[in-house]
Structure 1
């Protein structure tokens, strides 16, 4: 049985094209293990701008894997912080997790580990504001691909050993709180625009409440933020708006 499995694996590898072998090598370097099934990884690095319709107009891009990877990443980070900080309350843990999985953080880590070298997108359609979260989204899709290919334990190991520990200084994150709201307001003033922070929802989660704030600039909705207080939700929304508007 083992020999049959090995033969099947060899036959699969013999069918790999040069481009596929390069992707396998990149995945091994980034994730730490070779793929069992290359297909989900090929989808993970395929942006919607180059995706082709496969069934009734459905495009096989990395968006579905991004959705899955976002959930897996959030769970693993939550579990990691829960164990690492046993005496911190949910507010602390939620804010720290939000900082770790923020779009700008994921974009930065994605660039550092080599996602730009493997992601495929239509460069002709790129504008200053398009594809702004391209690499961070692809990283989430890659997490989703690992989960589909090898399950939760390998996904957790990838996230903790290859992403969290090498690329995040938790003490620095804790001690450095950026005032994104002030940064956003300063930007709107320079550009003669009017920001508005609107409280749109409060979610009762039993022993605590989660607030949702939406930011509008010149009456146009830009971003939403979540937090265990309105102030924290405003900061979260402002952080997301700064990412979307590419405010340094």
Structure 2
């Protein structure tokens, strides 16, 4: 109680003033350490040099926020789904913290209007939004502690902007699904970046491929390495789902045939991919 009272007293001079007001509208409380939140909104393209000579941007806070968010979501899911197994909890957490979800949440919160960036075209750099959200969570953790960070994630992000039941029905992480399939069939799944370039607006573009059992079966492009991996995995999953022959080729290449004369690999239906395709076609 005393700590809350002290915080309210300290916040009085900042009420209604920028940038405190903008962060209050997002967070629901006035920050104590405002420089942390400014740093959380500073993209590396607009890095500033500190008095100690260090270039300051939100990458370090993003690293911290990523870990804190994982822990908080794991904490929430563990308590919400008491009878679910580890696989379900891991999969659900992956869907909540995946970049696409974080980007959407960041924009809904209005972080796109607070981000400081010299990048010309933010429309093609949507991961900037999700990165900033993770950095913001890192700032909350350092400024207010784990309890307040957890309250923000649960009360603001999940309850107001994210329906867990909807998340459970949403598209899964293609890369994780493909890796899981490879593990079940004892087949190596390897992703690698094949090219890195810039588009007309000087935004970085990455090309990646995925090899399953030594066979390249998918490639994709994206404005981050993660996004290009997801696109490559999506292509690979479609090919695997549609072709038993391809699975047999991979089995032979990977040496599965030697231990299994029938060349039988566990065929995964990838139900989430089927739902996603149906939605696109309708």
**What TM bracket, shorter-length normalisation?**
0.5 to 0.7
Alpha-carbon offset, residue 102 of structure 1: 0.3
**Counterpart for residue 18 of structure 2:** 22
8 Å contact kept, 1:215–1:241: no
Corresponding residue number in structure 1 for 2:94: 98
2:154 is aligned, of 156, 160, 174, to 160
The answer for unaligned runs of 5 or more in structure 1 is: 182-196, 203-210, 226-233
Correspondence for 1:70: 66
Match of 2:49 in 1: 53
Q: TM-score, normalised by structure 2?
A: 0.59
Which ranges of structure 2 fall in alignment gaps of 5 or more residues? Answer: 197-205, 211-217, 235-279
**Alpha carbon RMSD of aligned pairs, Å?**
4.1
* Secondary structure, counterpart of 1:215 in structure 2: strand
Provide runs of 4+ in structure 1 moved above 6 Å: none
Q: Which residue of structure 2 aligns with residue 138 of structure 1?
A: 132
- The 5 Å alignment of 1:1-248 reads 9=10, 13=14, 21-54=17-50, 58-124=54-120, 126=121, 129=124, 131-178=125-172, 180=174, 213-216=189-192, 240-241=226-227
Give how far 1:59 is off: 1.3
Structure number with the bigger relative contact order (C-alpha 8 A, sep ≥ 6) is 1
CA distance in 2, matches of 1:144, 1:37: 12
**Alignment partners' CA distance in 1, 2:68 and 2:108:** 21
User: How many residue pairs get matched?
Assistant: 203
